[in-house]
Structure 1
Amino acid sequence: MPIGFWSVILGAMCVISCGEKQKRSFNAFDTYLQFYQEVNDSLSKNPRYVCAEAQKRMTATTDSTTYYHYVMLLAKAYMFRSDMDSAAVCMNQAEAYCHRNAPTPQISDLYADIYNMRGNVLARQALVDSAVICFSKALNYRLNGDRKEVLPDISINLADAYVRTGQYDKGALWYRKSLSFFDSLGTPEAKRFPAYYGLAQVYMELRDFELCDYYYDMAAQWYSEMMPYEKCIYLNNRGNSYYFRKDYPHALEMFRKELAFARSYPDMAFEVHLSEMNLGETFLLMNQTDSAAFYLAKCEDFFRSIGNISALYYLDTQLIELALKQNNLALARKRLAEAVKPDYVEPNMLHIRNRYLQHYYEETGDYKKAYYYQRENQRIDDSTRNERIKMRTAEIDLKYRQDTTLMKQKIFIQQKENEVLGLHQRMYVWMSVCFLILILAVFIYLYNKKQRHLFRMRSQHMINTLRMENIRNRVSPHFIFNVLSREINSHSNGYSENMRQLVKLMRRNLELTEHLCVTLDEELDFVHTYIDLERKSMGDTFALSLHVDKTIDLTREILPSMMIQIPVENAIKHALREKQGKKNLWIDIRREPTGAICIKIRDNGGGYKANSHNRGTGTGMKVILQTVQMLNNNNKKHIDISINNVPLEEGETGCEFVVILPQGYDYNFLKAV
């Protein structure tokens, strides 16, 4: 429809695809903003896709405020689909959430989105005064929020609403304020075209076509950067400017481009039928009634189905004139009687209706009423001329004040620059000296800190290495002399075999002494050799049970050296050797669900007794505990060791040694130091 109303309706949707980049720590809201940027273009191209994606992400969002931002994004997508009822439901849900929470910058931002969307909905319903109130609230909430980068878009929406009410001076003021916001935010020129074609709309309403074309040409430079619905706005408004100049061929050219473009997007039904209405009226004014009837019939069902009162008011106006040009006075009378009667009609729409009503009453011979509507249009034209004069006066005054302010600012700035120049020269010298001193001090501090650190590391490494050597020197004889003393006192037939096993044990013990950690395979081999040497002295009642999970690769899993050997030796020496009857030793190695390896060494020797004469010196366990303590210092997950008496079958009691080796444990001793 080639009138200002439809330009503003489309323009009011600018904020729906505004840029929303925030410099915050990365959180759920940043994820929302990133998603918003990804689907920004799709809001007008494919709003159904945006609906589906937004609903999917809502189910995975735990932050409540972010969740309702997704709800508002859903409302915007519904608006592009002309599903105003669903959009209203989403806005009500978000507003109820805001009412339940204390005011914060984030809640203010959400309120701003809600009132901005409400303003868009009210603008579509021709409730323009209410739309102005909503846009004003949205602007105030946005000023109290964090996302200042969308202020220009709300200013443009407010300007659009003022233009629709015929307050062109206020409309131009808010368009220019949006440009000021763009300047403050450093917004690129390519993003400012909505303000330019908004100003062009104002000057078109005032019939100042020179300035109108100036601003349209500025907006046209960035046509390729516009999103689909913004291109529709531009083509529609540019067509309007030719329409009001009565340059109908150029108007038809623009409206046809708009129609062809809108038809390439399935969800642009509103824009398609709007361009059809534009074409219908233009053909009507060119007296091509067949073409006019064709296009008006195509869009009538759509606007009646969505119940858009403003659109229906204008459509009825065209249909009345069409009936008159078809010489069907009865049909014109019927359509006039059945025409919708909105509470508010814009000046442009009223001007067109009055012109056609004048024609109608001339045809019916009621010249008194025809003259009345002619006078009404003259009054509207006079009002428009007055607005134009008021606008010119305001612009001249504004330009004078801006020029005066700029001149005063330049003089003041020049004076201050002269005062500051001398101060800067002295300050630069002192800053250079201080900077050099600071660099020297930092260098000396870092050098000394590094030297102290290296000295401390070398000292710690030496101390721990000596501790480990001391531990190993105490451990090695502990096993060897126990077996050797027994073999020297034994001269049975198996002496030679035992001596070979002893030699193997001594050689293996010497090899293990050089390593802090060994594989499970190496440790078990050492234990088997030791038990084979002890088996003869233990008698026929001694039995070893060894179980290893098939999931454990013995050649890859690491553990501290002697971790199994020492508990096994303690069990044989202090628990089983003097025991009467069955002597059982169990070694169980399993992988736990967490991935850790659990090693259990259990005997049936009556359990650990602190006061027993057989309890030994405890040297072996000290070795284990000291080794584990140093390794645990380098790991978040620790090796856990426990020793407990446990009940066994047949009423016996045993001692159980349990060690848990965490998965991913670091056995790098040098790193620990």
Structure 2
Amino acid sequence: MNTIYGKILWRTSLPVLLLLFLAVSCKQSEQHSSWEKKYDSFYRSVTDSLTTHPQQIRALAKQKMEMSTDSLEWYYYSAIVLKTYMFTSDVDSARYLIKRIEDFCAREQSSPYLADLRSEYLNTKGNIYVRVGAMDSAIVCFTDSYKQRLQGMKTESVPDILINLADACSRQGKYDVSAFWYRKALQIGDSLGISEGRRHPVYYGLAQVYMALHDFDQCDYYYNLAGMFYDKMLPYEKYIYLNNRGNSYYYREDYPEALKYFKKGFSLAVSHPDMGFEKNLCMVNLGDVYLQMNEPDSAAKYINECQPFFRKIGAAGALYYIDTQRIGLALERNDMATVRNLLSKATNPNHIEPDMLHIRNKYLQEFYEKTADYKNAFFYQKENSRLDDSIRNEHVRMRTADMSLRYQQDSTLLAKNILIEQQKVEMLKLHEGRFFWIGVCVLVLVIACFIYLYEKKRRALLLAQSQRTISSLRLENIRNRMSPHFIFNVLNQEMGSREGENKKELSSLVKLMRRNLELAEQMCVTLKEELGFVQTYIDLQRRSLGPEFKVTIEVGEDVDTNQLLLPSMLIQIPVENAIKHALRGKEGERRLWIDVHRSGTYICVRITDNGGGFKLNSANRGTGTGMKVIMQTIQILNAKNKEMIETSVHNIPLPDGETGCEVSFHLPLNYDYSV
């Protein structure tokens, strides 16, 4: 019975050369890394469609080949094209492309990337040998593909190669070796973390092995395991499952059940036009089943349809099997001339499966009995008897060898598992100790952080409390120096006894002092309040400064004096400093400019005089107490705001050639003055 044919320098120059080699290697590695990611992404996206739409995938892969900038990249995509040729049974194109890839690999220097490429074409080459029945060559190719893949980077495909190798060994009748490779595929699948849903090829492969050994209980056990994932199988995997399960019932001579599975496999292959090989292989099996069920017309129909296909691809094993069925049909019709003609032109492959040879000998015995050639009839009877004994003995030997290999594998696996468990226990102990000390360190760190944050907060609270206390004491000190009510009462009495200009000046002084006390308790005031206070102060200073003293106050139209807030005394203190230390002792015209305008998201305040500029060692230089108060206030406020008040004091040249001092402040519009 026919089974599935498999799946698919000088010392001074040496450092320079080494550096050059490393640079080139790094550059090549970067190039490979770049295209390999794109290739992997493309391959993952088309993997499931390779069997269902191979021609479309071939067109996409060829487009990628045209865009390839690296020769290795080009051949990687050509390996995908090679797979599509196999799925469309275009063996000639596959052979041509394999030769091109093989020649390229022979020219290039070995690398993990090249090892993966070699593994790809060797695996496909092995599948071609399987299709034409050259199992020895197929096993060599699959073995080399497995070795190359272990040297490469894409080890996740190792189980698929081992499945092909196991299939080829099974086709040669080496069932113990075949079972070994199937179980090896399972072990590697475990180490790679391959899910249970992707192991069905191994299950129906092992089922095929036990079918050949006529251990049908084990055979059905593995077929049932594989059948649980039938809906998740790819089309060609479904075909393999149906075809091989049909074979299992054929060997049990349960032909109706075998026919049911072969028909399902045939319908599946017909629904996928690219599964030409599978469709014709299924027709061979259908022809044999109909022959065994004494339906020669149906048998002849399928045998005649599939023979041209296998003759075209040169599949010697399939042609031998077809000739055997044609002999059976001719005997069924008592057409001895056809039998003689078939025997004279029969295909003789290098390797014939024992079961297939047994069927041929049975037909030959019947033929020679009907032609009264009893000598040859007796020969083939004896040959079949010997073959039966040989097959039985081989089955016993294979079962024994299989049990021995299973025991070795199980023992190795058990020893490996024991070693892994011991290592896990040791690692667990190390982890427990490590986790304990990590926990202790974390606990100590948490406690230290808590203590640090607690102390920081406690110091901040103490500092804030101290600042509030100091501020309160300062205000109380100012208030307690002299009773404000007493001063204001005396000044009011004095104003009552004066008239004219003196009374007006005294009134302004009282207003200034009262406002000064009010502002001392406020952190911020409106621009209108600040300018009013400044104007009162300037009015008091006009008589002492004379008619040469001129003040210019400009406020931008987009500045709302009733809404704009600024730190208390921000303008008054620079104005007072300008009058006291710059303008009072100046000869000639004395000028003072106050300018408030908006600039983007800031309010710009400038106080400028023409008093000759700021001089560090000037005799008129004051104590700087006023500006210190302003700077400290701004510093406290800035600590609470993301955008800060910016301050600058510098000398500037004036248009008339004089030098002046300019104090400027940049106040953010959304500034928070709460403390």
Category of TM-score, reference length = shorter chain? 0.5 to 0.7
Given that 2:176 and 2:399 are in contact with CA atoms closer than 8 Å, whether structure 1 keeps it comes out as no
* Equivalent in the alignment of 1:113: 120
* Equivalent in the alignment of 1:102: 109
> Relative to 1, partners in 2 of residues 1:436 and 1:195: Cα closer, same or farther, differing over 3 Å?
same
1:101-180 superposed matches below 5 A: 101-180=108-187
Give the greater-gyration-radius structure (CA).
Answer: 2
Cα displacement string for residues 629-657 of structure 1 (whole angstroms, at most 9, x for unaligned residues): xxxxxxxxxxxxxxxxxxxxxxxxxxxxx
* Equivalent in the alignment of 1:12: 7
1:414 and 1:46 map into 2 onto residues whose CA distance is 46
* Equivalent in the alignment of 1:246: 253
1:248-647 superposed matches below 5 A: 248-398=255-405, 400-401=407-408, 425-435=432-442
Cα displacement string for residues 428-478 of structure 1 (whole angstroms, at most 9, x for unaligned residues): 33222334567899999xxxxxxxxxxxxxxxxxxxxxxxxxxxxxxxxxx
Alignment root-mean-square deviation, CA: 3.1
- The amino acid of 1:341's aligned partner reads N
> Relative to 1, partners in 2 of residues 1:438 and 1:397: Cα closer, same or farther, differing over 3 Å?
farther
- The amino acid of 1:12's aligned partner reads K
Cα displacement string for residues 284-327 of structure 1 (whole angstroms, at most 9, x for unaligned residues): 11111111112212222222233322211111111111111111
1:119 positional shift: 0.7
> Relative to 1, partners in 2 of residues 1:266 and 1:177: Cα closer, same or farther, differing over 3 Å?
same
2:376 and 2:253 map into 1 onto residues whose CA distance is 26
Tell me, what secondary structure is at the counterpart of 2:274?
Answer: coil
1:242 and 1:376 map into 2 onto residues whose CA distance is 26
* Equivalent in the alignment of 1:3: 2
* Equivalent in the alignment of 2:212: 205
Gaps of 5+ in 1: 14-23, 445-509, 517-673
Given that 2:213 and 2:399 are in contact with CA atoms closer than 8 Å, whether structure 1 keeps it comes out as no
Cα displacement string for residues 503-546 of structure 1 (whole angstroms, at most 9, x for unaligned residues): xxxxxxx9999689xxxxxxxxxxxxxxxxxxxxxxxxxxxxxx
> Relative to 1, partners in 2 of residues 1:511 and 1:130: Cα closer, same or farther, differing over 3 Å?
farther
Given that 1:206 and 1:384 are in contact with CA atoms closer than 8 Å, whether structure 2 keeps it comes out as no
1:133 and 1:384 map into 2 onto residues whose CA distance is 25
* Equivalent in the alignment of 1:236: 243
2:210 and 2:414 map into 1 onto residues whose CA distance is 29
Tell me, what secondary structure is at the counterpart of 1:267?
Answer: coil
1:123 positional shift: 1.1
> Relative to 1, partners in 2 of residues 1:34 and 1:201: Cα closer, same or farther, differing over 3 Å?
same
Return 94-103 or 434-443, whichever deviates more: 434-443
Gaps of 5+ in 2: 9-30, 453-594, 602-675
1:98 positional shift: 1.3
Given that 1:316 and 1:335 are in contact with CA atoms closer than 8 Å, whether structure 2 keeps it comes out as yes
Tell me, what secondary structure is at the counterpart of 1:251?
Answer: helix
1:407 positional shift: 6.7
2:37 and 2:420 map into 1 onto residues whose CA distance is 40
- TM-score between both structures, scaled by the size of structure 1: 0.60
1:442 and 1:71 map into 2 onto residues whose CA distance is 62
* Equivalent in the alignment of 2:93: 86
1:128 positional shift: 0.7
- The amino acid of 1:115's aligned partner reads L
> Relative to 1, partners in 2 of residues 1:61 and 1:246: Cα closer, same or farther, differing over 3 Å?
same
> Relative to 1, partners in 2 of residues 1:192 and 1:26: Cα closer, same or farther, differing over 3 Å?
same
Cα displacement string for residues 399-450 of structure 1 (whole angstroms, at most 9, x for unaligned residues): 5556666776777778777777766554433222334567899999xxxxxx
Return 305-314 or 141-150, whichever deviates more: 305-314
Given that 2:210 and 2:216 are in contact with CA atoms closer than 8 Å, whether structure 1 keeps it comes out as yes
Match of 1:192 among 182, 188, 199: 199
2:389 and 2:597 map into 1 onto residues whose CA distance is 108
- The amino acid of 2:378's aligned partner reads Y
Given that 2:354 and 2:391 are in contact with CA atoms closer than 8 Å, whether structure 1 keeps it comes out as no
Cα displacement string for residues 81-132 of structure 1 (whole angstroms, at most 9, x for unaligned residues): 1111110111111112211211111111111111111111111111111111
> Relative to 1, partners in 2 of residues 1:85 and 1:407: Cα closer, same or farther, differing over 3 Å?
closer
Given that 2:180 and 2:406 are in contact with CA atoms closer than 8 Å, whether structure 1 keeps it comes out as no
Return 301-310 or 197-206, whichever deviates more: 301-310
> Relative to 1, partners in 2 of residues 1:398 and 1:289: Cα closer, same or farther, differing over 3 Å?
closer
Given that 2:79 and 2:121 are in contact with CA atoms closer than 8 Å, whether structure 1 keeps it comes out as yes
> Relative to 1, partners in 2 of residues 1:408 and 1:141: Cα closer, same or farther, differing over 3 Å?
closer
Tell me, what secondary structure is at the counterpart of 2:299?
Answer: helix
- The amino acid of 2:79's aligned partner reads M
1:56 positional shift: 1.2
Given that 1:47 and 1:77 are in contact with CA atoms closer than 8 Å, whether structure 2 keeps it comes out as yes
- The amino acid of 2:391's aligned partner reads T
2:46 and 2:58 map into 1 onto residues whose CA distance is 10
* Equivalent in the alignment of 1:222: 229
Given that 1:168 and 1:387 are in contact with CA atoms closer than 8 Å, whether structure 2 keeps it comes out as no
2:448 and 2:114 map into 1 onto residues whose CA distance is 49
- The amino acid of 2:2's aligned partner reads I
> Relative to 1, partners in 2 of residues 1:442 and 1:378: Cα closer, same or farther, differing over 3 Å?
farther
2:424 and 2:263 map into 1 onto residues whose CA distance is 58
Cα displacement string for residues 563-615 of structure 1 (whole angstroms, at most 9, x for unaligned residues): xxxxxxxxxxxxxxxxxxxxxxxxxxxxxxxxxxxxxxxxxxxxxxxxxxxxx
1:259 and 1:420 map into 2 onto residues whose CA distance is 54
Given that 2:101 and 2:121 are in contact with CA atoms closer than 8 Å, whether structure 1 keeps it comes out as yes
> Relative to 1, partners in 2 of residues 1:511 and 1:272: Cα closer, same or farther, differing over 3 Å?
farther
Tell me, what secondary structure is at the counterpart of 2:51?
Answer: helix
Query: Does 1:60 pair with 2:67?
Result: yes
Given that 1:112 and 1:142 are in contact with CA atoms closer than 8 Å, whether structure 2 keeps it comes out as yes
2:158 and 2:108 map into 1 onto residues whose CA distance is 23
1:411 and 1:344 map into 2 onto residues whose CA distance is 43
1:245 positional shift: 0.7
Tell me, what secondary structure is at the counterpart of 1:212?
Answer: helix
1:114 and 1:441 map into 2 onto residues whose CA distance is 64
- TM-score between both structures, scaled by the size of structure 2: 0.60
Query: Does 1:34 pair with 2:34?
Result: no
Cα displacement string for residues 318-337 of structure 1 (whole angstroms, at most 9, x for unaligned residues): 11111111111111111111
> Relative to 1, partners in 2 of residues 1:404 and 1:39: Cα closer, same or farther, differing over 3 Å?
closer
Given that 2:167 and 2:178 are in contact with CA atoms closer than 8 Å, whether structure 1 keeps it comes out as yes
1:378 and 1:425 map into 2 onto residues whose CA distance is 68
Tell me, what secondary structure is at the counterpart of 2:167?
Answer: helix
Cα displacement string for residues 362-414 of structure 1 (whole angstroms, at most 9, x for unaligned residues): 22122222222223233333333233323333344455556666776777778
1:417 and 1:143 map into 2 onto residues whose CA distance is 26
1:77 positional shift: 0.6
